[in-house]
Amino acid sequence: MAYARNGAGGDRRRGVTFDLSVVNAGSTPIELTFQDACRADFEVYRDGDEIWRYSDGRTFEQSRTEANLQPGEAATFGGTWPDPEPGDYTVEPTLRVSERSVSARTPFLM
């Protein structure tokens, strides 16, 4: 799993876009099952407290979908935090699949 902060040169008026990339590093295809249209979520923490979550206040189509990743294939999912304040944060992207919980944390600076 890889993830990146794609910013707008520190211009907080444009927000911060997070990308979560997953790669099938195995030798066989992987099937991913999503319970709704929110395939990835992004939580932002400051001093250990959650201050923003991509899915908060949003509604997503409630349809189960599947995606297959062939060996070596990648899929990328994104979300934008529209109005961050300057500071030190930690982002935790989560791939919202039925098979298992997939998440990681990384610090970043605005």
- Predicted model pTM: 0.80
The superfamily in CATH containing domain 2-109 is Intracellular proteinase inhibitor BsuPI (2.60.40.2360)
> Per-domain residue ranges for the chain?
2-109
**Residue where the block lists tokens 């319970």:** 35
Print pLDDT tens along the chain (110 aa): 333 344 545 554 578 899 999 899 999 999 999 888 888 899 999 999 999 999 988 888 788 889 899 999 999 999 999 989 999 999 999 998 988 778 889 999 88
